[in-house]
Structure formats: C-alpha cells, structure tokens
Chains A and B, each alone.
Chain A
Amino acid sequence: MDKDREGIDFLTQKEYEYGFVTDIEMDLAPKGLNEEIIRMISGKKGEPEEVLRWRLKAYRGWTKMKEPRWAFIEYPSIDYQDIYYYAAPRKKKRPKSMDEVDSEIVATFNKLGISLEEQEALSGVAVDAVMDSVSVATTFKKKLKELGIIFLSISEAIREYPDLVRKYLGSVVAPNDNFFAALNSAVFTDGTFVYIPKGIRCPMELSTYFRINAAQTGQFERTLIVADKESYVSYLEGCTAPIRDENQLHAAVVELVALDGAEIKYSTVQNWYAGDKEGKGGIYNFVTKRGLCGNNSKISWAQVETGSAITWKYPSIILRGDNAVGEFHSVALTNNYQQADTGTKMIHLGKNTRSTIISKGISAGHSNNSYRGLVKIGPKADNAKNYSQCDSLLIGNKCGAHTFPYIEVNNPTANVEHEATTSKISEDQLFYCNQRGIGTEEAIGLIINGYAREVFKRLPMEFAVEAQKLLAVRLEGSVG
C-alpha cells in the first residue's frame, strides 16, 4: 500500500501544466468597478450607445444585488473593487490575418496545444482564442462565411451585426438575472458570437479557447450562440489560466438560442487553475449558462469540470417549445481543496418536452463536490419527461459528495425520475487490478473512465480523449 501511495503522491503533485505566464504588453484599466470603467470598456470596444446603456443598467442593478451564498461552497468575501475589469493584450487593431497576430500569443496557444495557424487547424475545428477576455484570433472565418455562418468575437459582432446581437443578447440570461450575470453584463470585454443560418449544418466543430493571463484580473466573457430554424452546430469551449497565489474571478455568461428544429451541442472542458495542494490560489468560477429551446429543437450541454478553486455553474435549458429536448451530461471532479456546486435546471414549459440529466461527481482530497439541480414541469407541459441520474464517487474520507435535487411538478401527465448512488474506488478493486497486472494509476483510470463513460461518449472525439487524460492526471495520487 505504501508503495502505491508513493506513486500516487508523485502523481498528485504533478504540476498544472498550463500554469505558465505569457509576457506580453497589456492594456490595463485601473482597478475597481464604477460607471467610469464601464464607459471606458464600452468606448475601447467602439460600441454603440445602446450597448453602453444596457451595460450601465446591468451595473446599477448589480449594485443593488447580493452575492448568492446558498451554494455549498465557502470562500472569503470578494472585494469587487480590487479587480482589474479590463486587461487586453496591447495592440492597435484587430489582426486582419493570422500573420498579424502577436507571435507571443500564437506561441502561448501553441503551448496550450491550440494551434491558431489555419493550415494546422485543418483538423476541422474552427477556433476563436480569447485571452484575458479579448478575442485574439478567429480561424476559418472565410470558409464559414461562405455558408453564412457567423463566428467571431462578440465585440466584432456588436459592431458588424448590431441587429442580430441586439435581438438575442440578454434574451436568455437577462442582464439582471443574478448577481454574477449582472456583473458580467456590465463589464464583459469579449467572448464569442455564433449564428447558424436557417437549415445549415455547421460542417465543423466551432471552438473557443479561453485563457486568463494577466494577474489580478477578472475574466468576464460572454458567449451567444443562435441556431436558426433547422440548423445544427457543435461548439467546444476550453479554458486554462496561469498558476497564481491569489484567487481570480471568472464570471462568464453563455446564452444559447435554438430556434424551431435546431440543435446545439455545447461541450466544455473546464481546466482553470484549481489552486495548489494547500488550496492556495485558483480561479473562482461563477458562470451562468442557459439555453432556450423552440419547437422540436434540442440543446445538449456536456461538461467536464476539473479546474477552478470554486465552481458555481448550472448550465440550464428552458424547454419552451413543444417536443423540445434538453440534455445535460457532466463529469465534475474536485481534488485537494476544490469546491464545486454544479448541476443544471431543466424548465419544461412546452408539451412533450424531454430532458435527461446524467451527472457524475468525483470527489478526492479535501474537496467538496455537490450536484444541485432543478427539474420543473410547468402546468402546460403535458407529457413532459425527465430522467436524472446523479452519481457520486468518493476517493478518500476527507472529501464530501452531495446531491441536492429539486423537483417541482405541476402537471399530472409528467413523468419524472431521479436516481442517485454513491460509491467509492475500493482497495479491493485496486488490488484485484494490480494482481492482474494493471498498475494503480491505470486501474484508477479504468474505473473512472468506466464510471464517467456515459458523459465522455457525449463529447467530440478529441475532446473526450483530452478529458479522460485530464481526469487521470487530476486524480491519480488521491487513492490510498
């Protein structure tokens, strides 16, 4: 056992391999949040007056709101005046081609395994890279444009497609929806905008890669995806940040609109810096993600959450149209002193709406991992169906695994089922594997992958492989 533990310790101590800092010139606004700063951000972006008014309204709402504390997470109070709300890699204009992108930035993303060079991106994934809340490069733009697909940074979209953005921005997550969404609405600096025209199947995965680089900054990106009638898109999101002692705030908003007959798949591998073994540093991840389904449309969220010191995130779906389908597949792993309170909300409003929730929590170290989910069946949602399965796996006896489902049914034709189990990786299982010649690391990988397979299946291939490796790296060393 001792020998195993050594192997394990070695593994847990594995460095966060994305923890480097890129040395590039930054544009920083002064610390703190006030209307001045918001005007400045809006000005820098060259936004129309109405977007500024929208931001200010969100800000004023935010000042009257209280930080939510109902989640099962603990953290010292955040000083919102001690954060830089604007940090951007310094440059004059947005680059017109890849050649113009700062070579340091290209190198950064290369180091992260995200190639921005188009010829290498031929793997078929179009990438929008966002560093410290500012979009630095979008690949494959031309090819997508031919199909009428819009894929660019949200600040560009606000300038180039103001009507389209105006119609949908804030339509799913209202500016004052909650404390963090309001904060985001006030100060978001960039993010991604996607529009898929009627009847178009987007031929490649669209992907955004988020990177926090600068110190003491918050990242507040905003993503808006609109899939017009009968269209389809699969979207991937990845994120990393440097190792820093202090906690950094990330408060993003993602809005998905699936019009009648459309389908959106949204996959996330979240690997923000999680803090060190003692729980020092790491990202505070407060994210509002929500999708709205029209008739016969479908939205699927798939997430692999392994990073962040704190995760507060409930990707939700409002099934407003008849026959709409919502899916949520999640693997959330916490180790060391991480805390995650994550889950989903499925709001059934339309007839014959269906939703599935598969949540797999893995807790190790001193961490706490909670599933929190709401299934609500409205009075008009005849024949709505939900199935939820929320499993927890505990590794070691210093962590916690919690399940907080909420089920509200207001229609007699609904069928709602929730199941949850708790299990552990036992020494017997490991011994058995060892005895058959399978090393402890591999055995854990095997067991975890078996446990989370249902979710991995939902991820695009390359992502799934990455996610499996990520879990193994984040976990090994915690069994003993």
Chain B
Amino acid sequence: MIKNKSAETRFYEKLLKPFVKKQSLVNAFQEESYKALQQTSFPTLKDEEWKYTDIGDLAIQSLEPAVKADAEKIRPEMVFPYRFNHMKSHVLVFINGYFSPHFSHIKKNSNSILIENLSEALSSHPEIVQTYLGKIDKKGNDFFSYLNGAFFQEGVVIDLRDNVSCEIPIHLLYLTVGNDHLRYASYRNIVILGKGSSATLVETHHSLNNQSVLTNTVTEIVTSENATLQHHILQLQNENSYYFGSTNVSLFPESHYQNTWISLGGKLSRNDVNAEMQGEGSDCQLYGLYAGHHHQLMDSRTVVTHNAIHATSNQLYKGILNDCAQGNFNGKIYVSRNAQKTEAYQLNRNLILSEKARVNTKPHLKIFADDVKCSHGASVGQLDKNALFYLQSRGVGKEVARSMLTFAFANDVIDSIILGSVRFFLYKRLYNRFGREWGSVDDFESFQTIRKNGE
C-alpha cells in the first residue's frame, strides 16, 4: 500500500527509453496502456486480486530491457532439448522477447493460415493487429496487463480463415537468458480462428541459464463459430524467474476452447485465464496443474464469464505443494442475467506434502440467472492413507507409493493435453518433481493406449 508512485515508476522507468521509437500503428495503444499503467498502483496484498500473492520483492527492483546480444549467443544445440522432437509442428522460437527466425520453422501454408511473428505481421497484415489488439483483454485495472500493453516487444499473430484446420500443432517456444539484472521479456499474441477452423497451440517457457528474467505475456484469442482451439501452456522456467501471463479468450457460438496450464517453474508464476462465453452453446474447458517445491509461489487465476445461453464451462485445477512452496487458486465463474441454461463447474484440489507448504484457494461464483447448473468445490488434503496402505500391502515401497499417488493426483490434468509428445515431455519432468522413478514413460504411453482403446 505504502509503495508509492515513485516505487512504481522506478520499477519500469528503464523500460521507457528503448520504446520511445514505436511503430506508429500500435503507438496509440501503447501510449494508452502507459497512461493507464501510471495510474495503476503496484499490486499489494491489500488488493483483493493479489490477496495471497506477495510481489513486494519485485517492487523494489527495477526492470531492465532484455538484451538482444544475449539472445544472439544462443547455439542450436541449446535450443534443441526444448523442442518436441517427435512431433511435426510449426515452431516459433523467441529468446528474451526477440524472435529468432533461424531457430524457428514455419511450414509452408496455404493463404488461409497465417502464422507470423508480431513485428512481421504488423507490416504484412496490419489490419488484423489493428482489429484485435487490446480488444479481447478487458481485464482493466491490471498492472501487468498495462505493463505489457505499454512495453510489449514481440509476439505471434495466428489467423485461420473459415473452415480450415491447421493440421500440425503450433509450438511457441520462449527461452530466457538472464544476466546480472532483472530482465524483462514481453510478448503480445493474437490468435484468431475463423468459423469452423481448428488448431492446437502449445506454448512452453524455459530458461537457458539460472538468472532472473521477468516474462510478461498477454494473449488475445477469438474462436469464431464452431471453431476449436486446444491450447497448452507449460511454465518450466528456472526458480529465479518471474512469470506473469494472461490468456484472454472470446468464444463465439458453438466454439470450443481448451486450456491446460502446467506450472513447475519460476520463483513466482501467475497465470490468468479469462474466458468470455459470448456465443450460444460455446464450451470452455480449463485445466491447471501447479506443482511447487522449494520456495516457489504459484498463482492461478481464472475468470469465466457466461454471457450467452446454453454455454458450458469446466475448470479443474490441481495443486501439489512441497517444501515451502505456496499455491494460490483464485477462480471465478460469473453468470450474467441472460445466460440461462449455463452449465459451469469449477474444482480446485490441493495436496500439501510438507509442513511449511501453504495453499490458499478462492473458488468464487457470481450468479445472476436462475436456470443454470453451477457447482464448485475445493479441497486441501494429503495423500489418501488407505490408498497408500493398499499400495504398500501390494509390495510397493512407501516412497514409490507416495510418488505414484502424487502422480495419479496430477494425472487427469496431464491427460487433458491431447499431444502425446507434450505429455511425454512432461512426464519426465514430473518424475523428477515427484520423487523416485517408479515406472517408465513407455508404460504410461502403452497403458494410455489400453485405456483409450478399452483393450
């Protein structure tokens, strides 16, 4: 609260200089965002939306623009491990807020599919950026949203015409290379799916060294009638990083949007998903897994706003907190007066594995229509002692049993990722996170197949 204006400006003043020269097209938007930013105070625990997320240690630091030179030192073999090597995909690699064309690989597309980095799209398809920039993200009064609006560096523009399907997934790979100062890397993405189109988008965040970088991403998405977007975001940065990401989706009639958020990395990660059910019969599925250890703080926020009839939404967020980690869930379902026949569900479950780990959860509902089916639930607990005993009685050692059950707890969120390669990639990291290895990834895949084929 007492963090006065000067603290806030100090926080971002060093970002001002490199952005003086702006592209005229987005100039107005950036300036507007900057004005709003100046009028927004730095978030503290007194703000309801930041009640459990203390970012006081950031307020006293000063962000420095990421250096392109750092990005240019990166060699291909450093990037390679972070690609999904068995999966054909369009890959766009970003390092410290800069696009790296030579690591990226966008397969030839027909004219009906546009996948370009933002700077290029600004000159090739300015009308798309103009139409959508800042139009879907309507959070308002959000410090990091304004910060992004004022200082975003790069991003991606994806535009699918009506009735086309992007056959292979689009992979946005964000890498950071920090140095002594707290660097700032920011992205602004626009994803527009035309009527009846479909795509799969995977975003992964990694660190190439152990230094601290603050990543700030705002993604704006439109799913037109009958469009389908599968969207997976993996936050796997080092434990000195800060991550503030927000995904904003506007859903038109009968369209589907699915988001899976996986957070294992970061000193502090905060992920926002805002879905507006604008069209009749639209459907939104949100999944989240935050598995924290050491002193990590993981904050997941959702706002699902039902503005149309017959729309359905479902949220499943799971937290696993070990050591001194803290997990926060702040979910909202808002059903407006005219959104009759809404079905909206929200479930947040948490496992606390150690004495000093903490969980705060706020599953909130605001409902103004009567003919709706809404429910929410939250739980905080431990591994089921009966299940543990059952496993032990079958010869599974305690440590392995704990790890198995922890994995099982996370499994339905991971299952929501439709891409096998991504799941595979994740399993390996989860093994590391949840303790001893007790099976091989291949088992998972083959058992997965049994389950799916019922054979």
Asked whether A408 lies within 8 Å of B355 as measured between CB atoms, the reply is: no
When chains A and B are docked, how far (Å) is the Cα of A155 from the Cα of B80?
Answer: 79
For A, the interface residue count at a CB cutoff of 8 angstroms equals: 37
State which of B353, B362, B368 has its C-beta within 8 Å of the C-beta of A405.
B362
Question: Are B381 and A402 in contact, CB atoms less than 8 angstroms apart?
Answer: no
> Does B370 interact with chain A (Cβ within 8 Å)?
yes
Q: How far is the CA of A128 from the CA of B257 in the complex (A)?
A: 60
A419 within 8 A of B: yes
> Which residues in chain B, 359-375, are within 8 Å of chain A measured between CB atoms?
359-375
Question: Known: A412-B357, A414-B352, A418-B363. Is A424-B379 also a contact (CB below 8 A)?
Answer: no
Chain A residues lying within 8 Å of B354, measured Cβ to Cβ, are 412
Instruction: Judge whether B352 and A420 touch: CB under 8 Å.
Output: no
**A38 to B52, alpha carbons, bound, how many Å?**
39
Beta-carbon contact of A421 and B382 below 8 Å: no
Residue on A nearest B48 in the bound complex, by CB: A70
Q: A403-B365, A416-B381 are in contact. Are A409 and B352 (CB under 8 A)?
A: yes
Q: Which residue of B lies closest to A387 (CB)?
A: B379
Given contacts A403-B376, A420-B377, contact A412 B366 (CB under 8 A): no
> Is the beta-carbon distance between A397 and B360 smaller than 8 angstroms?
no
Contacts of A400 in B (CB 8 A): 366-368
Distance between Cα atoms of A414 and B380 in the complex (Å): 7
Assess the A422–B379 pair: CB atoms within 8 A: no
A-B contact count (CB 8 A): 112
Chain B residues near A304 (CB, 8 Å)?
Answer: none
B340 CB–A CB distance under 8 Å:
yes
A13→B314 CA distance, assembly (Å): 40
Segment of A226-234, A244-252, A293-301, A388-396 engaged in the interface with chain B: A388-396
Give chain B residues whose Cβ lies under 8 Å from the Cβ of A394: 367, 369-370, 372
Smallest CB separation, A97 vs chain B (Å): 54
Q: Cβ of B263: which chain A residues have Cβ within 8 Å of it?
A: none
Q: Which chain A residues border B374 with CB–CB below 8 Å? A: 421-422
| Shortest Cβ distance from residue B153 to the other chain A in the assembled complex, whole angstroms | 37
Chain B residues whose C-beta falls within 8 Å of the C-beta of A411 in the assembled complex: 352, 355
Evaluate whether A407 and B366 lie within 8 angstroms (CB atoms) in the complex, with A414-B380, A420-B377, A422-B372 already known.
no
Q: In the complex, what distance in Å separates the CA atom of A398 from the CA atom of B370?
A: 8
Chain B residues contacting A434 (CB-CB under 8 Å) are: none
Q: A432 on the interface (CB 8 Å rule)?
A: no
CB-based contact A420/B365 at 8 Å: yes
With both beta carbons as reference points, the residue of chain A lying nearest to B332 in the complex is identified as: A404
B353 to chain A, nearest CB (A): 7
Enumerate chain A residues within 8 angstroms of B377, measured Cβ to Cβ.
417-420
Closest Cβ–Cβ distance, residue B147 to chain A (whole Å): 26
Q: Is the CB of B366 within 8 A of A402?
A: yes
A350 to chain B, nearest CB (A): 17
Overall SS of chain B's interface:
strand
Task: For A396, list chain B residues within 8 Å (CB).
Answer: 370
Contact of B382 among A407, A413, A419 (CB under 8 A): A413
Q: Are A392 and B380 in contact (CB under 8 A)?
A: no
In whole angstroms, how far apart are the Cα atoms of A398 and B368 in the complex?
7
The answer, yes or no, to whether B402 is at the interface (CB within 8 Å) is no
Q: How many whole Å from B358's CB to the nearest CB in chain A? A: 5
Give 1 or 0 for each of A294-336: 1 = CB within 8 Å of chain B CB. Answer: 0000000000000000000000000000000000000000000
Q: Indicate if B428 sits at the interface (CB-CB under 8 A).
A: no
Chain B, residue nearest A416 (CB): B380
Return the contact of B381 from the options A399, A414, A423, A426 (Cβ within 8 A).
A414
Chain A residues positioned under 8 Å from B358 (CB to CB): 408-410
Q: How far is A415 from B382 in the complex, measured between Cα atoms in Å?
A: 7
Q: How far is the CB of B448 from chain A (nearest CB, A)?
A: 30
Interface residues of B in 320-363 (CB under 8 A from A): 337, 340, 350, 352-355, 357-363
B350 touches A409 (CB 8 A): yes
| Contact with B360, one of A72, A379, A399, A407 (Cβ below 8 angstroms) | A407
Asked whether B380 lies within 8 Å of A415 as measured between CB atoms, the reply is: yes
A421 and B352 form a contact (CB under 8 A): no
Considering the chains assembled together, what is the distance between the CA atoms of A412 and B322 in angstroms? 9
Q: Does A401 contact B (CB under 8 A)?
A: yes
A417 near B378 with CB under 8 A, answer yes
A404 and B367 alpha carbons, distance in the complex (Å): 11
A398 to B337, CA, bound (A): 7
**Please, how many angstroms separate the alpha-carbon atoms of A411 and B364 in the complex?**
23
CB distance from B323 to the nearest CB of A (A): 11
The proximity string for A residues 410-448 relative to B, scoring 1 for CB distances below 8 Å and 0 otherwise, is 111111111111111010000000000000000000000
Known: A406-B360, A416-B380. A422 touches B367 (CB 8 A): yes
CB distance from B379 to the nearest CB of A (A): 5
Docked CA distance A136–B374 (Å): 48
Give CA–CA (A72, B364) in the complex, Å: 12
**Bound-complex Cα distance A401 to B333 (A):** 12
Q: How far is the CB of B326 from chain A (nearest CB, A)?
A: 10
**Smallest distance from the beta carbon of A359 to chain B beta carbons, Å?**
13
Do A409 and B366 contact each other (CB < 8 Å), given the known contacts A398-B337, A422-B373? no
Given A403-B364, A412-B354, A422-B365, A395–B370 Cβ distance below 8 Å?
yes
Q: Are B379 and A417 in contact (CB-based, < 8 A)? A: yes
Q: Which residue of A lies closest to B326 (CB)?
A: A410
Other-chain residue from B360, B368, B371 in contact with A408 (beta carbon distance below 8 A): B360
CA distance A129 to B36 in the complex (A): 56
Rounded to whole angstroms, the CA-CA distance of A415 and B352 in the bound complex is 10
Across-interface contacts of B48 in A (CB, < 8 A): 70
Our pick among A398, A409, A424 for the contact of B371 (Cβ within 8 Å) is A424
The CA-CA distance from A414 to B353 in the complex, in Å, is 11
- Report how far A401 CA is from B359 CA in the complex, Å: 26
Chain A 363-390 interface 0/1 with B at a Cβ cutoff of 8 Å (1 = within): 0000000000000010100000000000
Set of chain B residues within 8 Å of A401, measured between Cβ atoms: 365, 367
When chains A and B are docked, how far (Å) is the Cα of A367 from the Cα of B377? 24
Shortest CB distance B108–A (Å) = 50
Contact A397 B378 (CB under 8 A): no
B378 touches A418 (CB 8 A): yes
Closest Cβ of chain A: how far from B7's Cβ, in Å?
Answer: 23
A-B contact pairs, 9 of them (CB 8 A): A401-B365, A401-B367, A404-B362, A407-B359, A408-B359, A411-B355, A415-B382, A416-B379, A416-B380
The 3 closest A-B pairs by CB, nearest first: A394-B370, A422-B374, A412-B352
Task: List 19 other contacts, CB 8 Å, given A403-B365, A418-B363.
Answer: A70-B48, A72-B366, A394-B367, A394-B370, A403-B364, A407-B362, A407-B380, A409-B359, A410-B358, A411-B355, A412-B354, A413-B382, A414-B381, A417-B377, A418-B379, A420-B365, A421-B375, A422-B365, A424-B372
